[in-house]
Amino acid sequence: MGHRIFTTSVASVYPLYVTKLERKGRSKAELDEVIEWLTGFDDAELNQHLAAETTFEDFFDQAHLNPNASAITGAVCGIRVEEVEDPLMQKIRYLDKLVDELAKGRAMEKVLRA
């Protein structure tokens, strides 16, 4: 039995990420940059996934995860992302962690593990 988030569309969560970041003085463009870094999806591909209401499961199945994604560490909602055992849940937590770091004002170079 998978988690409910696996079958949730990325399009339903994306506006929540945008709102969170804009409230903290960050931009949608910065969110898109972080998503592209993590998944390899450019703006056109991301927009296709949003329009198609792709589920998180299918979204990450089609993604080419950044080889440096394993450098994403820390806690999201009290759960350490590096300790998440389910590979799909870990990818979703990676995205959540990157959004959190942006919202906290971390420099883009650090968020993208440059």
Each residue of 13-24: pLDDT tens digit?
999 999 999 999
Instruction: Decide if pLDDT at 71 tops 90.
Output: yes
Instruction: Decide if pLDDT at 2 tops 90.
Output: no
CATH of the domain at 39: 1.10.8.290
Whole domain around residue 21: which residue ranges? 4-106
Q: Strand, coil or helix: what is 9?
A: strand
What is the enclosing helix (H) or strand (E) of 79? strand 79-80
Q: What is the mean pLDDT of residues 73-92?
A: 94
pLDDT of 8 reads: 96
Residue 78 lies in a domain: yes
- Residue with tokens 């909602």, as numbered in its chain: 77
Distance of CA 110 to the CA centre of its chain: 15
pLDDT of 95 reads: 97
Total tally of structural domains belonging to the chain? 1
pLDDT of 114 reads: 80
Instruction: Decide if pLDDT at 84 tops 70.
Output: yes
pLDDT of 1 reads: 58
